[in-house]
Amino acid sequence: MEIWILVTLAAAAVQTVRFMLQKQLQGAGLSTGGATFSRFLFAAPLAVALASVLIWRSGEAVPGMPPRFWAFVLTGGLFQVVATFALVALFAERNFAVGIAFTKTETVLVALFSAVILGEAVSLWGFAAILVGVVGVILLSQPPGAAFGRNLWNRASALGVLAGACFGVSAIGYRGASLSLESGEFFLRAALSLAVATTSQAIGMAVWLRLKEQGTLTRVLKAWRKMVLVGVTGMLGSLGWFTAFTLQNAAYVRALGQVELVFSVLVTWLVFNERSSLRETGGIALIAVSIIMIVLLT
């Protein structure tokens, strides 16, 4: 099995744990902004430390960071913040597994962005697998009890599509950033890109919360024991995604990353004691088929 597949599976598992922790933090009294900020606050120093160690162990100079790198990494970081904000808000609308599923609209968008921005088109079979997953997402987007095809657009759908689109732009930004570095092996490129992105996100969100949500920074810092876990899982999950993006077309990485839905269903059942409807289960099954097609046919 190729390295990028193993790394993507690990990243999806860790990210599911991080989303679970963020949902619990929101339920504990933190605002959407505070729960989102927790994802970056403690991840930044960990990412910087890892990149520093890797550069030191390599014995080489810091890879050159041309303007193209900064454009990609800062754009990716900004859109990831918006996506995470939308996703945390989405958790209040539907159950955990469905909330994660909404974001998977990003797979088609990532394929399109990859072709247009990076010149990396997916194969015919790869795109077919992505479309199967999209059908599953449509099934999941129905409000409970609604007839299929009716009330397709609602607040939960809007938040999910927003999160998915922004995650898609973020994925392309991060792959472009890693490929833009002028030297370094793949893991160093991923770690350095992650360190720059996460640090900029932490600083930017801190300024935003200070101006827009008085007192939120203090509440986040007081809950630092819980935040550390979110930061660690956030950093490890992002490191996995960055590494996979460095090794493979972002569209394939994100499509395979839909395995996260399987993990989220387990969390929904075992941690939050929530249950999915028959339609939602059917949607999840189609997304699982999409994942299998990605692994076997691309």
- How does pLDDT run across 125-184, given as a tens digit for each residue? 888 887 887 777 667 655 555 555 555 566 777 787 788 889 889 999 999 999 999 888
Amino acid at 116: V
Question: Mean pLDDT in the chain?
Answer: 80
How many other CB atoms are found less than 10 A from the CB of residue 131? 15
Q: What is the pLDDT of residues 89-120, one digit of tens each?
A: 776 765 555 666 667 677 777 888 788 888 88
- What's the confidence (pLDDT) of residue 111? 81
- What's the confidence (pLDDT) of residue 32? 72
- What's the confidence (pLDDT) of residue 143? 54
Instruction: Give one word for 145, left, alpha or beta, with left for phi > 0 and alpha for psi -120 to 50.
Output: left
Reported as type and span, the H/E element at residue 273 is: none
Provide the pLDDT confidence category of residue 25 given band limits of 50, 70 and 90: low
Residue 215, helix vs strand vs coil: coil
Place of tokens 């690990």: 10
Lowest mean pLDDT among 23-37, 68-82, 214-228: 23-37
- 270 has pLDDT over 80: no
What's the predicted TM-score (pTM) here?
0.78
Greatest extent of the chain over all pairs of C-alpha atoms, in Å = 62
Q: What is the pLDDT of residues 46-55, one digit of tens each?
A: 999 999 999 9
Lowest mean pLDDT among 66-70, 78-82, 221-225: 221-225
Please give the residue that has the higher pLDDT: either 286 or 121: 286
- What's the confidence (pLDDT) of residue 154? 67
| Mean per-residue pLDDT, 270-291 | 75
- 192 has pLDDT over 90: yes
Place of tokens 């599976």: 9
**Contact between 33 and 209 (Cβ < 8 Å):** yes
Radius of gyration of the chain, Cα coordinates, nearest whole angstrom:
18
Please give the residue that has the higher pLDDT: either 117 or 298: 117
| Mean per-residue pLDDT, 244-250 | 89
Quick one: tokens of 152?
A: 């397709």
Task: Measure the CA–CA gap between 135 and 138, rounded to whole angstroms.
Answer: 5
Amino acid at 50: L
Quick one: tokens of 61?
A: 């100079």
- What's the confidence (pLDDT) of residue 153? 62
Work out the percent of the chain whose per-residue pLDDT is above 90: 21
Provide the pLDDT confidence category of residue 200 given band limits of 50, 70 and 90: very high
- 194 has pLDDT over 90: yes
| Mean per-residue pLDDT, 236-256 | 88
Give the residue ranges of DSSP H helices in 104-249: 106-113, 124-140, 155-180, 186-212, 216-222, 224-247
Please give the residue that has the higher pLDDT: either 28 or 110: 110
Place of tokens 């600083």: 203
- What's the confidence (pLDDT) of residue 180? 93
- What's the confidence (pLDDT) of residue 116? 82
